[in-house]
Every structure is written in C-alpha cells, then in structure tokens.
Amino acid sequence: MAARVALELKGIERHYGQGETLLSILKGADFTLRSGETVALVAPSGTGKSTLLHIAGLLEKPDAGEVFVNGHSCAALSDDQRTGIRRGEIGFVYQFHHLLPEFTALENIMMPQLIGGLSRAEARERAAQLLDYMRIGHRADHRPSELSGGEQQRVAIARAVANAPLVLLADEPTGNLDPETAGYVFEALEALARQSGLAALIATHNHELAGLMDRRVTIEDGLVREME
C-alpha cells in the first residue's frame, strides 16, 4: 500500500513585480511528497527553490494554486491557522542553524515543545532522546558557540522534528559543512525520515547527497520536474 501523501502542491503560481515588469517564478507547479520519503530539490539559484519551500511551509501564500498538508486544504486558512499547522505539522531546517545562543543544545530542542504545550519533564525527555539519536547526547549542556558546525546543525534538525512534524523542509542544510560532516548530517536526517515516517523535501546543491535520496526534482520554466 502506498504511503500517505504528506504534502501536495497543485497549480502553484507565484509572481513578483519588478518595476513595471511582472516576474513569474512559479507557473502552475505541481508536487507530491509522501510519508517516509526523502526528495532532493536541485535547481540553480534564482529558479524559485526558496519560494517553493516557503509556499510549501505556509510561510508565503501563492498567487494561485493550492497547498495540502496531510490532505487538508490551506488556501482559505487564516494566518493564525497557518501558524498552527506550521507549529504542529511542519519542521524547518536552514543553511544556518539559527539556534538561540544563550540556551544549551537541550534547551534549544525543548523550546518548541514547551511552546506546543508539553510539560518541562516531557520536553526534556524527548530532547534528550533526539540528541542521543543524533549521537550528540554528550553535548546536551553545551551552548551553540561550544559546538562544531556539524553538531550545531544536528541540534537544529533535532529541534525541527521535536514536535514530531509530518513534513520536514530543509534549505541547504549541509551547505556550510565540509563533505564528511555533511554526509553524516544527511545520514542522520535520512534515518530519521525512515524510522519516523517523516516526509522530507531538501533543497541542496550537493549532487552526491541528492543522489542518495528517494527522488530528485528540479524547477524548470516555473514547473517542478522529476530528474533522472
């Protein structure tokens, strides 16, 4: 039986005004992402990669088309409702980790859980489990400035999945890392998707890592296309 559809984009259009010119970035793009699937988004800068991720993550509204998260239409939702879905169903990882510098690794992962209503004890337990899973449990009490780049990014991934989202969207998550560290971070991310049923869309310029994912897609002429 096919895995359920976690994220679906239908007929997405996005246009930007540039002086008197209308710049069309996405022109009716369609895309489907299933639970437990890792998909690489490989496309040159300026083709709409970040725009697609922002629309998929409900950070930006399309000019036309529809976004479905876990089968639910998001077109008519209020800003508060969209925020609620982002908080519970979608995790984000960026090229820079964006960890809170004054908090430890453990506390950074606890934060979204506390905001989501978990008790401090429950949030601490899950944060510790995620750090162990990422093989950095021994760094739990260290602040971001005391962690290596790879460790910081693993904490960022753990924080992104702390509330057990259905979808993970990552924008160049290994872009600032050396090849060996990037490979390890990606392996941790992929294992997490496999074991938890997480659906991951990962924008990357790293063709070697992209080749390890279930599928590769690109953006051409404003449309999402499968790659060989």
Boundaries of every domain in the chain: 5-226
3-class secondary structure, 228: coil
Query: What does pTM read for this prediction?
Result: 0.87
- Mean pLDDT for 55-72 is 93
Residues ≥6 apart with Cβ < 8 Å to 182: 150, 174, 206, 209
Q: Has residue 73 got a pLDDT over 90?
A: yes
pLDDT category at 186 given cuts 50, 70, 90 is confident
CATH topology of domain 5-226: Rossmann fold (3.40.50)
- Spacing of C-alpha 42 from chain mean position: 14
pLDDT category at 163 given cuts 50, 70, 90 is confident
The CA angle 18-20-25, to the nearest 5 degrees, is: 40
The sign one gets for the Cα dihedral 87, 92, 96, 97 is positive
Q: What is the pLDDT of residue 1?
A: 54
CA neighbor of 170 nearest in space, from 151, 148, 185:
185
